[in-house]
Structure 1
Amino acid sequence: MTLMSQRDSEWAPARTTFVLGGARSGKSAYAERLAAASGLPVSYLATAASPQLDGTPVDAEFAKRIAVHRARRPAHWRTIETGIDLAGALNRAQLEIQAEAEALAQAQCEAQAEAQAYAKAEAKHEAKVPIPAVGGCILVDCLTLWLTALFYSDGKDGPCADWAARIDAFDEALASSGSRVIVVSNEIGLGVVPMGAQTRQFVDELGRLNQRIAARCDEVVMMVAGIPMSVKP
């Protein structure tokens, strides 16, 4: 066996992938391509929410951005609006994937039993029903907007009281998920130090969150001008 063929035989897709990048770096589009390429049913966890007043969006430009993202996603993907409870949304998506997998496995077992019964009745060799792999892919887009919601909730002056606990909960949910998970976030720490204590705290905490999720994930990709750059492994 050659070195190349040995590497190919040992290669396996990452279970968790973290996609980082600046504004308009192509990170969301790349993450969506990864999700589509997985061949699995996709659950899209959307953290963006357009600010509203009496049910009417107050930021038309941001609402348009959200609409563009929605239109770009395949219609058969399941979309979950997460709010600030990202851990809960990830856990719910995982439970739905498990329930669908169990239902499919049960249907396959029943089909296998029917095929075996038919083969026995016809005195033929035992029929085999192929059982395909089951599972799902969860795409989280993105951590930056989620942290923004935790830090700048409507009508609140400062972060949510339990923002740190919510980050811990998401990290734990990501670690325990058995699905293919792709997480998107912004890299905003390459510029000058921002003015304002609260803004500096946000930049610091997003940097710490990115480090934490990068350490958790099997694979880390940095998007530069639409080009994926492998960071990890």
Structure 2
Amino acid sequence: MLIFILGGIRSGKSMYAGEIADKISKNENKKIVYIATYKNDGKDAEMIERIERHKNNRPNTWNVMEEGKIYDVASKLGEIENSVIIIDCLTLLVSNFFAENKNADESNITSEIEKMLKEIRKGIKKNNNEFIIISNEVGEGIIPVNKISRRYADLLGRANQIIAKHSAQFYFMFAGIPMKIK
């Protein structure tokens, strides 16, 4: 099963994903694998603080992996079995992809997301995995003032649409409260 959790910054997405993962893990006797998509380079003090908060909020029984590239995440998914896999978050995967591919357009990101989804579907069927993907909603705010930011918002919006379409369950977070969309 693929579960998608979308919401604004600090809306409770990661916390809710953890609650769902814990429930599935206990009910189905599965491990929890947490894929953090931010590669900590030690340069951004505010981001380091966020990472530490996330680390303190998750149990030390979780298997944590750091993968910042969408194709690296996709390739790792086939190696994991009988687990609940949290990908936190699609926002950074798309950002990292965009940073490496400045001329990327919707077809590029669509292709990468489709490859990841293919691995997710294989992981569900073949490896008995459940997936929870977290992402930020970027379409609710103001239109970014510069071209690069608008292109990034377009790419992330498209990626979010693809994941939402293929998810079995989809939640939108409002101030820590999940609203089930499907």
Which consecutive residues of structure 1, in runs of 5 or more, have no partner in the other structure?
Answer: 1-14, 98-134
* Cα deviation 1:167-200 (Å, max 9, x = unaligned): 2321222232211100000011111211111110
* CA RMSD after TM alignment: 2.0
> Residue 70 of structure 1: SS of its match in structure 2?
helix
> Residue 177 of structure 1: SS of its match in structure 2?
helix
**Counterpart pick for 2:60 among 75, 80, 92:** 75
The number of residue pairs the alignment matches comes to: 172
> Residue 147 of structure 1: SS of its match in structure 2?
helix
* Cα deviation 1:184-233 (Å, max 9, x = unaligned): 0001111121111111011111111101000111010000111110101x
Moved over 6 A (4+): none
Q: CA deviation at 1:160?
A: 6.5
Scaled by the length of structure 1, the TM-score of the pair is 0.68
Instruction: For 1:160 and 1:204, locate their aligned partners in 2 and report how far apart those are by CA, in whole Å.
Output: 11
User: In the TM superposition, what are the counterparts of 1:151-230 in structure 2 within 5 Å?
Assistant: 151-153=98-100, 158=102, 164=109, 165-178=111-124, 179-230=129-180
Partner of 1:49: 39
User: In the TM superposition, what are the counterparts of 1:126-145 in structure 2 within 5 Å?
Assistant: 135-145=82-92
1:66 to 1:163, Cα distance in 2 relative to 1, 3 A: farther
Amino acid at match of 2:176: G
User: In the TM superposition, what are the counterparts of 1:57-136 in structure 2 within 5 Å?
Assistant: 57-84=42-69, 86-97=70-81, 135-136=82-83
* Cα deviation 1:47-79 (Å, max 9, x = unaligned): 0123x3xxxx22111111112112221111111
Scaled by the length of structure 2, the TM-score of the pair is 0.86
8 Å Cα contact 2:113-2:162 kept in structure 1: no
Instruction: For 1:149 and 1:90, locate their aligned partners in 2 and report how far apart those are by CA, in whole Å.
Output: 14
Instruction: For 1:196 and 1:141, locate their aligned partners in 2 and report how far apart those are by CA, in whole Å.
Output: 26
1:81 to 1:228, Cα distance in 2 relative to 1, 3 A: same
* Identical amino acids, percent of aligned pairs: 33
